[in-house]
Amino acid sequence: MARRLSLAGLSTDPRVAPAPAPFPWWRSAVVYQVYLRSFADSNGDGIGDLAGLRARLPYLAWLGVDALWINPHYPSGGADGGYDVVDYRAVDPDYGDVADLEALVDDARRVGLRVVLDVVPNHTSDQHRWFQAALADPDCPEAGRYHFAPPSEEPPNNWQSLFGGPAWSRTPDGRWYLHLFAPEQPDLNWRDPEVAADFEQTLRFWLDRGVSGFRVDVAYGLYKDAALRDNPGFYAPTLFGHGPEQAMTWNQPEVHDVWRRWRSICDEYPDTMLVGEVCLADLDQVALYSRPDEMHQALSFRLLKSAWDPASFAAAISSALDAFGTVGAPVSWVLGNHDKERQVTRFGGGALGRARARAAALLMLALPGSAYLYAGEELGLPQAAVADEAKRDPIFLRSGGARAGRDGCRIPMPWNATDGVGFSPDGAAEPWLPIPADWGRYAVSRQAGRNGSTLQLYRRALALRKAHPAFATGTATVTTNGDVLTVRCAGEEETVRCVVNMGAETALVSCSGTVLLSSSRRVHSAGGTVALPPNSAVWLVED
């Protein structure tokens, strides 16, 4: 019987069930994180830019990711890699202009990629017009949008900056102001309604230009204890993030109302999403940020922080599945980003680190939910050694060199194996961070056509993840057996598995299924048994 359809496309026949809501793209997307300054330089000034990224969209479409998240593109004071924003509704001239961003969004859509921006609501740059006005006049309305305290001998409380030293600095006229990061990043006072109103305009400004959402920086911040009471302990985060010792600075209950308002704005723009950076030790608290009326997802950093052993990885996976499952949100898995040491190095460096990073990639891409893939991980880039004089990271600079800082994971991308690795059109351009002499060996041009390269492994995995939706959307169970970790994902049509050998000996795994992909050339399968060499992973589809 023909369905009768109204003009709006809605069924008017009561016997025809309404079509189920489409599965939203972000629930299973692979989002590629572009460190804009280091991705591709179009005009030869040694700085990556929007036109350079636009020209490389075919590469990202070929790789097979679903969306891009671009690190901050705003005019910035340059104190923290763009996370000190001077103007939230503009593009830093180093990167282009708003028209370039619109062109990027349009071109990306044409090749099936969505663009997600980074938004930084916890703090502005000290160069922001509000902070400048507040410096000039303590009584102006803008001063109420930050945390100022009158001159006194001692800072108002014991809060510490995440980048080292006290979280309070003085203005030239002797007042104190709060900065939980660098002194050039004064924290906003979200109890001032003007702050909230201004960010809502910012969201709409970019959503109106077609972006698909935002990665929300320091989403567990924004509100501080109303009485600015001392923290019970000093800055000493646990492995997995901040805990009760930082109770007065992070995770105040009021912050959830901000995400409810932002969610309702996104709901006006179809297919957009918010993904929050929430670095709290308690994963159940993190999950609360992705309740159905708050952000769509909150990044899960457990994999990125787990030691290379099956118990740690199994706990990372099941605790995240449990915590986010409770609120109905997908887990957003992360193995690397612009703040952490590159995987190859973190997992032991050299051939060992590479083998483990390749296996870890197969593991992450086999998990249900979304995955965040940091540019350059698909090339197996190691952490680069950066000379102290070339370092830009405030973590290095403010710790007096005691902490290495994050520059080594932010080196320009190697596109080809010629002089300058094809980052700038003119190989002679001085890149904004020095490129190691051997960077060409990781170049896209070297790996793209080579079977067994890390780039081909990622590309193959991304294609198989699409072809076998059980990976990204199935129901996962995690088990360990000695050195072997198995994730089994039951989908509607088939059941797939990722098996990882994290030990030093070859492991024999019995399985009646077909091998789809393996991270090592030395994986063998015969007669229902798969031989997995040390530090390797395999994808299987069960018979």
Give catalytic residues, as residue numbers: 217, 268
Residues 5-44 that bind Ca ion (CB under 5 A): 41, 43
Structure-token pair, residue 441 = 């060996």
The answer to whether 91 contacts Ca ion (rule: CB under 5 A) is no
Q: Summarize the chain as % helix, strand, coil (round to 5).
A: 30, 20, 50
Amino acid identity at 166: P
Strand partners, 148: 177
Cβ neighbour number for residue 252 with a 10 Å cutoff: 17
Choose among Ca ion, ligand GLC, none what residue 218 binds, the Cβ cut-off being 5 to 8 Å by kind.
ligand GLC
The only residue of 131, 181, 214, 235 in contact with ligand GLC, by rule CB under 6 A? 181
Site string for ligand GLC, 331-360 (x = CB under 6 A): -------xx---------------------
Shortest distance (Å) from residue 509 CB to ligand GLC? 38
Distances (CA, A) of 440 to 416, 443, 456: 6, 5, 17
Structure-token pair, residue 8 = 């709006």
Choose among Ca ion, ligand GLC, none what residue 41 binds, the Cβ cut-off being 5 to 8 Å by kind.
Ca ion
Residues 451-479 as b or e (16 or more Cβ within 10 Å = b):
eebbbebbbbbbebbeebbbbbbbebebe
* Cα separation, 274 vs 389, whole angstroms: 37
Choose among Ca ion, ligand GLC, none what residue 80 binds, the Cβ cut-off being 5 to 8 Å by kind.
ligand GLC
* Cα separation, 189 vs 223, whole angstroms: 7
Looking at beta carbons only, is 120 or 364 nearer to ligand GLC? 120
Looking at beta carbons only, is 37 or 465 nearer to ligand GLC? 37
Structure-token pair, residue 438 = 């051997």
Structure-token pair, residue 189 = 């006072």
Looking at beta carbons only, is 324 or 423 nearer to Ca ion? 423
Site string for ligand GLC, 248-287 (x = CB under 6 A): -----------------------------x----------
Site string for ligand GLC, 191-230 (x = CB under 6 A): --------------------------xx------------
* Cα separation, 425 vs 240, whole angstroms: 41
Residue nearest to ligand GLC (CB): 83
Residues 85-124 that bind ligand GLC (CB under 6 A): 120
The answer to whether 178 contacts ligand GLC (rule: CB under 6 A) is no
The answer to whether 308 contacts ligand GLC (rule: CB under 6 A) is no
The only residue of 45, 107, 198, 494 in contact with Ca ion, by rule CB under 5 A? 45
The torsion of the CA quartet 49, 54, 56, 62, rounded to 10 degrees, works out to 150
The residue among 104, 16, 35, 59 whose CA lies nearest residue 416 is 59
Contact residues: ligand GLC, CB under 6 A: 80-81, 83, 120, 181, 217-218, 277, 338-339
